[in-house]
Amino acid sequence: MTPSSQAPARSLPGSGEARRHLIVAIVNNRPGVLNRVASLMRARNFNIESLAVSATDDPGTSRMTLTILGDEVHVEQAAKQLYKLIDVLKVQDVTDDSIVEHELALIKVRATKRNRPEIVSVAEMHHGRVVDLGDDAVVVEAIGEPGEVDRLVELLREFGIKELVRTGSVVMSRGSGSIEEQVKR
Amino acid sequence: MTQIGHVPGAGTAAAAESERARKEMLRDARIDSRDGARPRIGADALCEALLRQGSDVMWGYPGGVILPLYDVLADHPKLRHILVRHEQGAAHAADGYARASGRVGVCLGTSGPGATNLVTGIGTAMLDSVPMVVITGNVPGALLGKDAFQEIDITGITLPMTKHNYLVRSADEIPAVVAEAFHIARSGRPGPVHVDITKDALMGQTSAPHPSDEEVLAGLPGYRPKMEGHPRQLKSVAEAITAAERPMLLVGHGILISHAETELLALARKAQIPVAWTLLGIGAIDERDPLAYGYMGMHGWKHANRAIQSADLILAVGMRFDDRVTGNVRTFAPKARIVHVDIDPAEIGKNVVADIPVVGDAKSVLGALLPLIDTVDASRRAALFAELATWRAESVESPWHGSGGWRDGVLSADFVVDRIAAGCDHDANLTADVGQNQMWVARYGGFRRTNSHLSSGGLGTMGFALPAAMGAAVAVPEKRSWAIAGDGGFQMTLQELATIVQEKIPVKIALLDNKKLGMIRQWQEIVYAGNYHSEQLNGPDYLKLCEAYGVPAWKVSKPEEVDAAVASANAVDGPAMIWFEIAERQNVYPMMPAGKGLSDLIDKWGDDGEDVTDGASGPRRDPADPADGSGSGGAAR
């Protein structure tokens, strides 16, 4: 019998190198499906960084965009477990695909009459736009890649952020490929 | 605005609906007249749907909101309802029914506590991939979320422990939902499906038709279990088998579920591959077969574990590399390439890295592999088989285990299990409970037939044996059904004695009474340095208990009395029980300590041989030595 001390160690699944993954899931548009997804991720110990849920062009389905932190095996497990849900029709890890990834943020910034023009110009220089202008606060809308949104938020932080909301990423593949068409096929 | 009574939001449609629902909840019978034709209601649709799925038995317990179903049961006489004494018993009985027969088990309970009592049984079925449809009633739809009497968010509770679940709020949905539930429960990797039905849905009139199989599939676009293995992967597997010098088949529940026993045997014979099995893989191959090598894992046979550790190819089929199987994954089968065949893609790569993954149904994959592999002559493996034979002999003849009496004059559990199996010509269905008894059954049950071993493997649910054996007895009446339980597990669900008496279910019970939580005691001895706590377990006088319930019973405390008692119990036309007073401090060996690997099995505890107080770990001791159970294990001191 081979003593375990002499044996080469079997490697465990996964590289252990965590990075951010983007998962797109097309699901049935039914009550409770969001709960099923959220419950699964919690029970299986997957950490959702962000989750965006929306309608698709088909009223019968919804689209979820999840960002998950983990190594490739961990995230593959998450995708496989998601796919086991009866209401999940299609799951894709699009992290390494050619995609457009955008999110939207609304940032309420402390403002004075004096620095308002500065806030407006900072916003506009970084693909933001002012959607509400008050005496002592400005609401800036930022749309773009999460990194771009991060940079604008950092710049606005100097003025004092009163409130911040972000939708989390939504993604779409470039070119003619369509996950929705794949589901219908 | 003037207030109308005390109704919140009075005057709105929602309030009116709520009020109507409250009245509905208190109204007992929908069917006003039993003479002549009556309208078809949701409860009728449910019964029809169950019968259409081939269900002949359901295990249940009534309660307020499920009464509309009981109100129509007499009109569906082909559907047998068995009244249990606790909903957990219903769930385990449906589970045992399913495991023994391969058919979908059905259980039901009312809302609230009825539903929560089913939960342990649902989890048990989920972890062991047992096909089951669980039906619960719920409060009328308009009262959902209002904390009505006996309301609990049961679909929220069962969501993570079912393959799928439904909340049905309209009678019209019932036929389609029940058909879907059965399809999901039994196909792919089976599992429990929960259907929660509101009282108004059970009572509502409906003309909804039952869907065809095609309609059921069309309604489940996101559910297409992959049955066939990928041809490229199958080719790789065949090549790996050809190249292997020391291949081992490691088979699990998937063989039994997919009925792949014939294909397994054919493959093992054609390529001359010895077979080891997991706890739930017991029965995949006749243990007498020359290629059947042994039950492996934490308490498996040492030779089987040794063979796994020395293999150069592991063909794992329909098993999921549970921690009780692999031990420390880093030291598991260190020289082997791993082929992992499973119908559930999520099992591939979950616990171990598969060198060749194959997603597919075990029967289909093994069947497709057969023509791809070369016939291997046994002479090619002569050296391997000689070595395996030596290991087996060493392991089986070890003084630490093997039947024949643990020590003189004291009854050993392994001996009892062996004699029960023999007394039933190795053709009974043996249902184990959880703990030491479970391991003794797994090791010494001498199984020859598929689905003849029932055990709560994944969840490890104490109290499983009696109700599950009850399910097996009803599902497969032509086979004897024995429940082999420890005194701990038996005391968790012994109320079902009343069920087996009332329903004349011929379950035979072997109570292995060591007046201990034996596995707890064993762990406290070996893992917790002899720091015993809460392992002493007093029970009632079980003969009086059985007398009270009307179950014929015998008490056996000597090895020479065992065979006669088993024969007597088998001769009873109906339930019977044998109370075996077994050694109080017998351990299950070998044992793989937690965190260790399959090469690190201990097959005795204590180095001091002669002097250990736990007789199981030392040589046979003076029979006069009192086994009073008051001392601690020797090596632990």
Tell me the per-residue pLDDT of B110-147, one tens digit each, with 9 for 90 and over. 999 999 999 999 999 999 999 999 999 999 999 999 99
Cβ neighbours for B478, distance < 8 A, ≥ 6 positions apart: none
* Residue B622 pLDDT exceeds 80: no
SS3 B153: coil
Residue B410 confidence (pLDDT): 78
B400 backbone dihedrals φ, ψ, rounded to 5°? -80, -15
Judge whether B627 lies within some domain.
no
Residue B145 contacts A where some CB pair is shorter than 8 Å: no
The answer on B337 and B269 residing in a single domain is yes
Residue A116 confidence (pLDDT): 93
Residues in chain B, overall count: 637
Contact B305, B293 (CB under 8 A): no
Nearest residue in chain A measured CA to CA from B308: A1
What is the pLDDT averaged over residues B533-549?
97
Token pair, residue A157, equals 């932080």
When mean pLDDT is compared across A14-23, B133-142, B602-611, the lowest value belongs to B602-611
Q: What is the DSSP letter of A10?
A: P
Judge whether B142 lies within some domain.
yes
Give the total number of structural domains in chain B.
Answer: 3
The answer on B431 and B292 residing in a single domain is no
CA B583 from chain centre, in angstroms, equals 26
* Residue B623 pLDDT exceeds 90: no
Judge whether B625 lies within some domain.
no
What is the pLDDT averaged over residues B515-525?
94
* CA distance readout (Å), B219 to B171, B224, B266: 18, 11, 38
Judge whether B441 lies within some domain.
yes
Query: CB–CB of A3 and B599 under 8 A?
Result: yes
Write out the H or E segment, with its range, that includes residue A141: strand A137-144
Judge whether B622 lies within some domain.
no
Residue B108 confidence (pLDDT): 98
**Alpha-carbon dihedral A168, A174, A176, A180, rounded to 10 degrees:** -20
Residue A135 confidence (pLDDT): 87
Task: State the average pLDDT for chain B.
Answer: 90
User: Residue B346 belongs to a domain with what CATH number?
Assistant: 3.40.50.1220
The answer on B326 and B446 residing in a single domain is no
Q: Which residues of B are catalytic?
A: 87, 149-150, 199, 519
Report angle CA B189, B190, B192 to the nearest 5 degrees.
Answer: 140
Token pair, residue B325, equals 């199987």
SS3 B95: helix
Which of A27, A39, A84 should we substitute to test contact with B (largest number of B Cβ atoms within 10 Å)? A84
CA A135 from chain centre, in angstroms, equals 33
Judge whether B1 lies within some domain.
no
* Residue B468 pLDDT exceeds 70: yes
User: Residue B465 belongs to a domain with what CATH number?
Assistant: 3.40.50.970
Q: What percent of chain B has pLDDT over 70?
A: 90
Question: Shortest CA distance to B341 belongs to which of B240, B229, B265, B261?
Answer: B229
Specify the residue for token string 């736990």.
B614
The answer on B146 and B267 residing in a single domain is no
Task: With cut-offs at 50, 70 and 90, classify the pLDDT of residue B589.
Answer: confident
Specify the residue for token string 């395996």.
B388
Tally DSSP H helices, then E strands, for chain A.
5, 9
Tally DSSP H helices, then E strands, for chain B.
24, 18
The answer on B494 and B365 residing in a single domain is no
Helices (H), A44-108: 72-84
Distance CA(B330)–CA(B335), nearest Å, equals 11
Token pair, residue A110, equals 């402390």
Residue B326 contacts A where some CB pair is shorter than 8 Å: no
Query: CB–CB of B331 and A9 under 8 A?
Result: yes
Task: With cut-offs at 50, 70 and 90, classify the pLDDT of residue B612.
Answer: very low
The residue among B186, B218, B250 that closes a domain is B218
The answer on B193 and B74 residing in a single domain is yes
Distance CA(B173)–CA(B219), nearest Å, equals 12
Task: With cut-offs at 50, 70 and 90, classify the pLDDT of residue A12.
Answer: confident
What is the pLDDT averaged over residues B287-314?
96
Judge whether B57 lies within some domain.
yes
Distance CA(B370)–CA(B270), nearest Å, equals 8
Query: CB–CB of A8 and B344 under 8 A?
Result: no
* CA distance readout (Å), B302 to A20, A60, B511: 44, 55, 27
Distance CA(B522)–CA(B526), nearest Å, equals 6
SS3 A53: strand
What is the pLDDT averaged over residues B438-444?
96
Task: With cut-offs at 50, 70 and 90, classify the pLDDT of residue B37.
Answer: confident
Q: What percent of chain A has pLDDT over 70?
A: 95
Burial of B111 (0-12, 13-18, 19+ CB in 10 A): buried
Contact A36, A82 (CB under 8 A): no
Going along chain A from its start, the domains and CATH numbers come out as: 19-96 (3.30.70.260), 100-170 (3.30.70.1150)
* CA distance readout (Å), B273 to B361, B445, B590: 20, 23, 24
SS3 B453: strand
Say which amino acid occupies B444: Y
Residue A34 confidence (pLDDT): 95
Question: Shortest CA distance to B488 belongs to which of B520, B456, B457?
Answer: B520
Angle between helices B382-396 and B302-310 (to 10 degrees): 150
A87 backbone dihedrals φ, ψ, rounded to 5°? -85, -5
Number of Cβ pairs < 8 A linking chain A and chain B: 81
Where are the extended beta strands (E) located within B567-622? Answer: 576-581
When mean pLDDT is compared across B62-66, B397-401, B569-573, the lowest value belongs to B397-401
Query: Quick check: bond before B559 cis, omega within 30?
Result: no
Contact B97, B54 (CB under 8 A): no
Q: What percent of chain B has pLDDT over 90?
A: 81
Tens-digit pLDDT profile for residues B61-81: 999 999 999 999 999 999 999
The answer on B263 and B174 residing in a single domain is no
The residue among B363, B395, B427 that closes a domain is B395
Task: With cut-offs at 50, 70 and 90, classify the pLDDT of residue B51.
Answer: very high
Closest residue to B346, CB basis, from A10, A11, A80: A80
The answer on B441 and B384 residing in a single domain is no
Contact B461, B120 (CB under 8 A): yes
A125 backbone dihedrals φ, ψ, rounded to 5°? -70, -20
B357 backbone dihedrals φ, ψ, rounded to 5°? -85, 140
Q: Which residues of A touch B220 (CB under 8 A)?
A: 86
Residue B299 confidence (pLDDT): 92
The answer on B168 and B73 residing in a single domain is yes
Distance CA(B456)–CA(B442), nearest Å, equals 11
Query: CB–CB of B350 and A12 under 8 A?
Result: no
Specify the residue for token string 């294909």.
B263
Residue B620 confidence (pLDDT): 34
The residue among B160, B186, B218 that closes a domain is B218
The boundaries of the domain holding residue B576 are 413-585+604-617
Cβ neighbours for B140, distance < 8 A, ≥ 6 positions apart: B21, B22, B24, B25, B65, B148, B198, B199, B200
Query: Residues of B283-316 as b/e, b for ≥16 C-beta within 10 angstroms?
Result: bbbbbeeebbbbbbbbbbbbbbbbbbbbbebbbb
Tens-digit pLDDT profile for residues B5-35: 777 777 788 888 877 777 766 665 555 555 6
Specify the residue for token string 């949104």.
A149
Reduced DSSP (H G I as helix, E B as strand, rest coil) percent helix, strand, coil of chain A, to 5: 30, 40, 35
Query: Under an 8 Å CB criterion, which residues of A touch B?
Result: 1-4, 7-13, 27-28, 32, 35-36, 39-40, 43, 73, 76-77, 80-81, 83-90, 183
Contact B617, B604 (CB under 8 A): yes
Query: CB–CB of A77 and B349 under 8 A?
Result: yes
The answer on B356 and B326 residing in a single domain is yes
The answer on B238 and B204 residing in a single domain is no
Token pair, residue B375, equals 């016939």
* CA distance readout (Å), B507 to A89, B106, B124, B424: 44, 19, 21, 13
Q: Which residues of B touch A32 (CB under 8 A)?
A: 155, 159, 167
> CA of B331 to nearest chain A CA: how many angstroms apart?
6
SS3 B459: coil
Distance CA(B290)–CA(B75), nearest Å, equals 53
Cβ neighbours for B431, distance < 8 A, ≥ 6 positions apart: B96, B454, B455, B464, B465, B468, B469, B472, B481, B482, B483, B484
Judge whether B13 lies within some domain.
no
Query: CB–CB of A10 and B597 under 8 A?
Result: no
Nearest residue in chain A measured CA to CA from B168: A31
The answer on B480 and B568 residing in a single domain is yes
Closest residue to A9, CB basis, from B156, B310, B330: B330
